[in-house]
Structure 1
Amino acid sequence: MKEKKYDYLIVGAGLFGSVFAHEMTKHNKKCLVIDKREHLGGNVYCEQKEGINVHKYGAHIFHTNDKRIWDYVNQFATFNNYINSPLSLSKGKLYNLPFNMNTFYQLWGTKTPREAKEIIDGQIKEYGVKSPKNLEEQALSLIGKDIYETFIKEYTEKQWGTKATDLPAFIIKRLPVRYTYNNNYFNDIYQGIPIGGYNTIINGLLEGIETKTNIDFFEDRVALESLADKVVYTGKIDEFFDYKYGQLEYRSLRFEHELHDVENYQGNAVVNYNDSEYKFTRIIEHKHFEFGKQDKTIITREYPESWDRGKEAYYPINNDRNQDVFKKYKEESKKSKHVIFGGRLAEYRYYDMHQIIASSLTKVEEILKIEV
């Protein structure tokens, strides 16, 4: 049998594929990384404009409690001390997020945790239900009426494209409420943005590895698969199996980037727009991720959209129907001994960046144990 040119063909140059390629190359495996986009990096790709690193596919803020993952990414980039402290615009007023004592003071004028807790507990008692049947009932049972109507209802309905009463309760498993004056959105020990953008990490991971962009795996699948002993597939799992069990559903996003001839547009990296009168859910001002002092600024409005096969898939809709369909594809994937499935599209789940990196490292460790 003719020896294959590569040990691994890696379909998708996002974090999962890039980490996998990097680690396997360290173990003397020959990898080819392909991506259908015109650039590497998947959704963490940054486009530099006017000296600003623009998060092309939405805000990416690195955060983790896992020191191993933190040390891993710090091999490739130096991280700044950015702390995500978003603002929320609702009915003409700005509020701090996540829900904390600053938020409660802005809502009710409360100054102590006891005062705020009394209001929230009272509203949960009045509006909550024991067995929530939809997202609205779930939210009311977790944080009461005022927070739900001010911050969650209209924002969530825009995000998912349907009424909160028609959304399943499990979408909101918990709503973090802090009784401290702390605007740090994440609780993780390690947080920040790579200085110079995420391309620094991707370039470091893929240094010395053969890569090809503008390559659609499905347009020349047989020829591409023949190049390598194994395929690492990070795309949509239902597409890999030609939708034989049906199509999985997603929500998509549309981004509108704007250059403004001002130094500072909104004074914060992230501002949520809760009200339904705004069709977008938030505005990102990219320079604030890296404390930029440029004369101009770039903002991005983020519009949630329904998804079809011509759009990018961002958020899996993990309802019962889709989970049942995914289980069939998951079982089918186990039969494909020469294919490794990994990443949020192949695993049909939402991952944060640190989770994708951990998943890829775990997969590499599993394979190397078997091969050794």
Structure 2
Amino acid sequence: MKYDYLIVGAGLFGAVFAHEAKKKGKKCLIIDKRPHLGGNVYCEEVEGINVHKYGAHIFHTNDKTIWDYVNGFVEFNRYTNSPVANYKNELYNLPFNMNTFYQLWKVKTPEEAKAVIAEQVREVGVKNPKNLEEQALSLVGKDIYKKLIKGYTEKQWGRKATELPAFIIKRLPLRFTFDNNYFNDKYQGIPIGGYNKLVNGLLDGIETRLEVDFFKDKTELMSLANQVVFTGKIDEFYDYRYGKLEYRSLDFKHETLDMENYQGNAVVNYTASEIPYTRILEHKHFEFGTQKKTVITKEYPTEWSGNKEPYYPINDTRNNEIFTKYKALSEQDNIIFGGRLAEYKYYDMHQVIASALAKCKKIFN
């Protein structure tokens, strides 16, 4: 055998696994069907700006070990995610905090804000929420729901809020402080120079082959290595024998504009249902850029089909039951499955890295 590991997919899981395996003296080959490394964290440089090609990737974690790990490959900046919501040309700070409550009701103290929310929740009078709409109304009342949740959520899922299960919104964090920092995590930022620096650092000295479709030469490729690490769709690996798992997808429309600053913030959410996109990203603000031009991206949520990129697993009862069957099958095979698609779960970046490191610790220690 030429390689110890054939790693299918050059995203974060595959790159971390390859790096750790190399440290243990293992020989790895990474293949990816895309023309670039990095999976969904790949950045394309346009006008000197690192454009997040597959949506905003903002690194955040409370785990110092993970934070130190990624900073070992590239220094991260101090970017703090503070999105703004645009509802019919009114602007609101996110997450829901004292700034938001002032913008909605002109209240200035936590006590006043709590009183308004409690009164609106009481007026709704929902005791046993049967769907997402009722759940949200029972948590935050009509104003926040109507202006900041309803349209955005319906676009995201492609379903009416009354048709979505209540459990999607288990809780809605309300902050009674003037704090626009979206994440509660201690560590957050963006790699200085973009995510490609992180991925290239992880894959330094490891053989990679791009634009290789694993499923076109599956038998031949698998014969190259003692073991396969697979980070693609687990149902596709098993030829959909128990049926197809479902996802939501996204379409991205990137535009280069001949201006220095389009919206003054990296992320602006559009929460009205009549606007077809959910948000506009302005990439230069992730790295405090001062370039003469700017690049924006509109994100359009869409139904997933086989030729689209699968982004968000739909972890409802039906899909979870199908995945359980594939997982049982995978446990009988000498194949390592890892990452968002192979594990059929929504992962943040730090969680993917933690999952790959845990897998490596189990195998190599």
TM-score band w.r.t. shorter chain: over 0.9
The equivalent residue for 2:112 is 115
Partner secondary structure for residue 219 of structure 1: coil
CA gap 1:15/1:145 in 2 versus in 1, 3 angstroms: same
CA contact (8 A) 1:128 1:137 kept: no
Structure-2 residue corresponding to 1:315: 312
Q: Distance in 2 between matches of 1:251 and 1:21?
A: 29
Which residue matches 2:24? 27
Match 1:361 to one of 335, 357, 362: 357
Q: Distance in 2 between matches of 1:257 and 1:315?
A: 21
Residue type of the partner of 1:205?
L
**What letter matches 1:368 in structure 2?**
F
Does the CA contact (< 8 Å) of 1:101 and 1:113 recur in 2? yes
What is residue 267 of structure 2 aligned with on the other side? 270
Partner of 1:69: 66
Establish whether residue 56 from structure 1 lines up as the match of residue 53 from structure 2.
Answer: yes
Query: Match for 1:328: what amino acid?
Result: K
TM superposition shift of 1:126: 2.3
- Deviation track 1:134-176 (CA, whole Å, cap 9, x = no partner) reads 1111111111111111111011111111100001111112111
Q: After superposition, what is the alpha-carbon deviation per residue over 1:279-300, rounded to whole angstroms, capped at 9, x for unaligned?
A: 1000000000000000000000
Alignment partner, residue 6 of structure 1: 3
Question: 2:136 and 2:215 mapped to 1: Cα distance?
Answer: 42
Partner of 2:291: 294
Structure 1's consecutive aligned runs of 4 or more residues displaced over 2 angstroms after TM superposition are: 128-131
Tell me, in whole angstroms, the C-alpha distance in 2 between the residues paired with 1:126 and 1:232.
Answer: 54
Q: Give a deviation string over 1:6-56, Cα, whole Å, max 9, x none.
A: 111000000000000000100001000010000000000000010000000
**Cα distance, 1:128 vs structure 2:** 4.7
**TM-score of the superposed pair, with normalisation by structure 2:** 0.99
Inter-partner Cα distance in structure 2 for 1:129 and 1:223: 59
Q: How do residues 207-286 of structure 1 correspond to structure 2 at under 5 angstroms?
A: 207-286=204-283
* CA–CA separation in structure 1 for the residues paired with 2:107 and 2:233: 48
2-structure distance, mates of 1:329, 1:361: 23
Provide the residue aligned with 1:99 in structure 2: 96
Letter in 2 for 1:137: E
Alpha-carbon distance between aligned partners in 2 of 1:113 and 1:195, rounded to the nearest angstrom: 37
CA distance in structure 1 between the aligned counterparts of 2:190 and 2:125, rounded to whole angstroms: 39
For structure 2, the 5+ residue unaligned runs are: none
Aligned match of 1:341 = 337
In 2, Cα distance between equivalents of 1:223 and 1:142: 55
What is the RMSD computed on CA atoms of the aligned residues?
0.7
Asked if the contact 1:128/1:144 (under 8 Å) is kept, the reply is: no
The 2-side partners of 1:192 and 1:154 are apart by 29
Q: 2: CA distance between counterparts of 1:73 and 1:128?
A: 47
Corresponding residue for 2:40?
43
Taking the aligned partners of 2:249 and 2:342, their CA distance within structure 1 comes to 16
Counterpart of 1:181 in structure 2 is 178
Q: Which amino acid aligns with 2:248?
A: R
Q: Report the CA distance between 1:131 and its aligned residue.
A: 2.3
Instruction: Return the offset for 1:346.
Output: 0.5
Structure 1 residue matching 2:205: 3-state secondary structure: coil
Distance 1:126 1:230 in 2: 60
Structure 1 residue runs of 5 or longer lacking an equivalent are: none
Change (3 A) 1:122 1:311: same
Structure 2: distance between partners of 1:212 and 1:131: 54
CA contact (8 A) 1:128 1:138 kept: no
Report the identity percentage: 71
